[in-house]
Structure 1
């Protein structure tokens, strides 16, 4: 079973990923994706530049070396084109208290860091409908801790959702997750995108000063939208060395 390409706006990193991670049906959706990526390419992502900085001893190049690549626990991890990363920058929530969630949706952290690398995650088995992405972000350790603190507070403060870039999300809630890294947290956002109800899940793990964020969606079985724990664990082990 192959998932058809979705004609979704490529303004949010995870949703932009869906456009390229799913199998393609030629036509309007493909044209829309190309146009969106072309527009996004005009804005260079900080992660595209290896000289963009260093955080706690990590550069973009060094982060890239420890990011998942290739086949891992039933998924294939591939680098995400920088145009798609740039597409998620600068997103704002209509409610200030929900901004950490909007940052995550755009492939960013709050506090932000330019030292980050991104991967798409696509299941090896075509019958597996869970797809997603992940990114590693290096920060100063106090800021890394603050990323998870901010997300926890935002989930508590925004249970009825929020709006961003013209899209409305109606529900936000925390999810159970295994104890991974130095600390971990998971949450779920539900909304209506392009006339389709969508549930997306996020798992965020801090290992020292590095924050690993995993985004997943399963349009056939929303309860299975989270990226599987073995994939997350494999990445955490690479970070810890």
Structure 2
């Protein structure tokens, strides 16, 4: 089945970008075998979105292998693969509640979980942390995400933020574009890594003063030239074109 010939040009581009996002997560070692997910909403009124085929490693995901489902988890296009119901619970909740959350990225990284179990969560120890702290929320652990009732509580906790730490569980970012969601996760994950490494020194740590945090939103736009993730995304695609061009298949 040639998927490219059966979908719109916009959907195919989204498939390529989403497959690229999976490959970059694998490149950085942020994947957890087959147990986390990145989803993207397809343009149009149908509220269909793409998610990874359950059982496929992130380094294997291609544009054609992504599974198209509706908000109830039903496949709306033929696919030999199924999806993870736990992953669907989290992603569908965010997509349904937030029109601006076109892409949702959820990971179980060591550093992210290590920060999630700390009572004070992410702390302003690095320049990177300030960008996440400017739009950060928390969601308490309720067990494996299979309970539909958890959706309402997760969405309420997320509010209008773009970064979330799921206690005892992992990290989540959402954004208008795949590029922005990836950049958000890059920043959040790096912030967690720095925090854990700094704490491991055992010396007294010096947080960034709170007045600096207050002005970080305007500075974030200057740093990315108001382009957000698209400033780095073309370079990411060039890297993948060199290293593993099959992601576009």
TM-score, length-normalised on structure 1?
0.28
Q: Relative contact order (C-alpha < 8 Å, sep 6+): which is higher?
A: 2
Bigger strand fraction:
1
Bigger helix fraction:
2
